[in-house]
Amino acid sequence: MNTRSLPQTEAAAAAELARLAALLQRHDRAYHEQDAPEVTDAEYDAIRAENNAIEAAFPSLIRPDSPSMRVGGAPAGGFAQLRHRMPMLSLDNAFDAEEFIEFAERAARFLGRKDVDFAMVAEPKIDGLSVSLTYHDGQLLHAATRGDGTTGEDVTANIRTVAGIPHMLTKPFPARIEVRGEVFIAKADFLTLNVAQEEAGQRPFANPRNAAAGSLRQLDFRITRSRPLRMFAYAMGEASAPVASTHWGYLGQLKAWKFSVNPLSTQLQGPAEADAFQERMGLERSGLGYDIDGVVYKIDDLGLQSRLGFVGRAPRWAIAWKFPAQQATTVLEDILIQVGRTGALTPVAVLTAVGVGGVLVTRATLHNEDEITRKDIRIGDTVVVQRAGDVIPQIVSVKVELRPDNARVFVPPERCPVCGSHAVRLPGEVVRRCTGGLICPAQTEERLIHLASRGAFDIEGLGEKTVRELVTDGLLKTLADIFRLPDKEMALAVREHWGPISARNLVHAIEQRRDIPFERFILGLGIRRIGEVNAKLLARHYTSFANWRSQMLAAVAIGSDARSDLGAILRIGPTIANELAEFFAEPRNVASMDALAAELRIADAVVDTAVNSALSGKTVVFTGSLETLARPEAKALAERLGAKVTDAVTRKTDLVVIGADPGSKARKAAELGIRVITEAEFRALAATSPA
Ligand SMILES: [Zn+2]
């Protein structure tokens, strides 16, 4: 490893150690507590190495809060704390064969032997989150993250949802045993998860490790359960009785207990075989389903392990041989915009081709606009590119000193580069989106799949695969095209693997959906945030397609009555109102929607006209605290009687029901001359109405 020039004086060294301690503490917090590292692992290791080199040269200056005495960050708030009965320490690192041999020689010297050819176990080092699982009488009792090595977070409820972890051990087992492992997320699952994150308007995870950590450290274990976490078990903590005499034997026992153990783990002998294994893993790394950042080598004999013991924070009997950082420097030539299947606009860096870890890299993700601003990346800059765990190349940093005078600041596009619709970034979102949902070719396929899906129009025989084929063959381009397929029955029948019968069946299924309830129609448009519940709310509120259409067009104008009326619908609110307004603001969306509507007979929503109550068709607002009815119950009652319940008082409100301390809504009602009744009057009204 290259060492930087050391400080020349004690004062300079002390100052530098203080600076590095603060810096590492900050990075530790960002990494362990916020799951959002600011530096790469390689950079972090370099800072740590620098600190250690200064401490080695000036041992008297080692600080009480020295980073070399600490492991990771303090536990985050929100979780109960669990103290590890045996500290969870971290490993020393080697970065090349020479450092590995030094490790073996140190161990041999300690044991007073010349031979460095130890029997060892090599295990790919997973880039995830270390956890400790404690079993009592074979039952999983509790689980903790590593935390600061001494105390971790109690993630017992969450860990029970992770694959590869038995809740109960099969006999025989020691009365008490602690098993350690690494929780991780596979590369493919990581990519899927990030698409979902962006969909939900959330910041994507920087890498699979952060995704795993962020998923496990959820206060709601149901969120953890929804995330595809796995665990490989790899180490023994405390045990009330010996389980094996070698580490390899221990791994075998773990497998017998039905833990997942990394199948690539292997036994080998001494530095020469370790070197060969390291090289093999380096080559296979990119093809693995999960990230590894090196290989851990452990002296196999547990007797030797206990003789070797620990020095500082790390065992003498194991070492993590890290892969070299896969980084390179190149020029950012341009920033392109990619449009995802859901309309998300992602900036992509176009790079002068450069080899990174044996792969030619010409593109790198820039995640989003904020990321570009945060790293101050400009077109023309010389940048450091990294293949982060082999997933997607990313830009680590900019070499500002090499910035040319004509470097250009990136300007986010106002229009979708694929379809030309206006692109917007709504308040509170990190992602800019194309608003041309119905006409943007980048999104068409997903919209068609959605419309035909069981949740929306439910057209039998028009599943995802068929839609994709029909799009490829040019038979489907717009939503309306689905209802033009019956005219193309012949063309369908001659398709590969089809025939007159399947063509006939599809045409029949499509014809059955020409009569469609209004709410299904709204749902079928696939407008963002308009799922089943909201589609139903809209249908009930506006009752007919024609009315909804004209009200939505009017609602495009911010501050219009139609917009406030829309935002005031119970559970719709301003965010969803924004999405609808953006959809209707794009005339070509409206044209595409109209073309679809022209193919259909859209049935008006039935607002319980059968219920001929004093409340049917009325728009009602509740305000203040009700005394005899819970608010949800009151709303449900009003709705059952055919009323629309909204949150805000507008000109369209017919009735305001006031409880105690009614506040501004009651004043507004008085101003607008709207009828105001008490809770008791409301109950009386409800009682006299047929339910
Ligand atoms: Zn577009």
Q: What is the pLDDT of residues 547-577, one digit of tens each?
A: 999 999 999 998 888 888 888 786 788 888 9
111-136: average pLDDT: 93
Q: What does the longest C-alpha to C-alpha distance in the chain come to?
A: 98
Q: Please report the DSSP string for 10-70 in residue order.
A: HHHHHHHHHHHHHHHHHHHIIIIISS--SS-HHHHHHHHHHHHHHHHH-GGG--TT-GGG-
Give residue 557 CA to ligand 1 midpoint distance, Å.
22
Q: Please report the DSSP string for 210-262 in residue order.
A: HHHHHHHS-SSHHHHHHS-EEEEEEEEEEESS---SBHHHHHHHHHHTT----
615-622: average pLDDT: 85
Count of CB atoms situated within 10 Å of the CB of 33? 17
Distance in angstroms (rounded) separating the CA atoms of residues 425 and 418: 17
Give residue 341 CA to ligand 1 midpoint distance, Å.
10
Q: Which of the four pLDDT bands, split at 50, 70 and 90, describes residue 1?
A: very low
Q: Please report which residue ranges of 495-560 form alpha helices under DSSP H.
A: 500-512, 518-524, 532-542, 545-555
Q: What is the pLDDT of residues 14-24, one digit of tens each?
A: 888 888 888 88
Give residue 338 CA to ligand 1 midpoint distance, Å.
10
Give residue 508 CA to ligand 1 midpoint distance, Å.
32
Q: What is the pLDDT of residues 485-512, one digit of tens each?
A: 999 898 899 888 888 999 999 999 999 9
Distance in angstroms (rounded) separating the CA atoms of residues 282 and 275: 11
Answer whether residue 213 shows pLDDT above 50: yes
Distance in angstroms (rounded) separating the CA atoms of residues 572 and 646: 9
Answer whether residue 603 shows pLDDT above 50: yes
Answer whether residue 3 shows pLDDT above 50: no
Q: Beta 151-153 vs 81-83: how paired, if at all?
A: antiparallel
Instruction: Please work out, in degrees rounded to the nearest 5, the angle formed at the alpha carbon of residue 173 by the alpha carbons of 168 and 175.
Output: 90
The CATH number for 619-688, chosen from 3.40.50.2300, 3.40.50.10190, 3.40.50.300, 3.40.640.10, is 3.40.50.10190
Give residue 447 CA to ligand 1 midpoint distance, Å.
13
pLDDT the model gives residue 688:
67
Give residue 418 CA to ligand 1 midpoint distance, Å.
5
657-677: average pLDDT: 86
Task: Identify the active-site residue in 125, 322, 644, 665.
Answer: 125
Distance in angstroms (rounded) separating the CA atoms of residues 205 and 213: 10
Q: What is the pLDDT of residues 371-381, one digit of tens each?
A: 899 999 999 99
Query: Domain 327-409, what fold?
Result: OB fold (Dihydrolipoamide Acetyltransferase, E2P) (2.40.50)
Q: Which of the four pLDDT bands, split at 50, 70 and 90, describes residue 357?
A: low
Give residue 528 CA to ligand 1 midpoint distance, Å.
14
Count Cβ atoms within 10 A of the Cβ of residue 83 and give its class: 0-12 exposed, 13-18 middle, 19 or more buried. exposed
User: How does the average pLDDT of the chain come out, rounded?
Assistant: 86
Domain ranges (residues) in the chain: 10-70, 93-322, 327-409, 435-606, 619-688
Superfamily of chain region 435-606 = 5' to 3' exonuclease, C-terminal subdomain (1.10.150.20)
Q: Report how many helices (DSSP H) and strands (DSSP E) the chain contains, helices first.
A: 25, 28
Distance in angstroms (rounded) separating the CA atoms of residues 302 and 249: 10
| CATH architecture of the domain covering 10-70 | Orthogonal Bundle (1.10)
**125 catalytic per annotation:** yes
Give residue 437 CA to ligand 1 midpoint distance, Å.
7
Give residue 339 CA to ligand 1 midpoint distance, Å.
7
The CATH number for 93-322, chosen from 3.40.50.300, 3.40.50.720, 3.30.2130.10, 3.30.470.30, is 3.30.470.30
pLDDT the model gives residue 458:
92
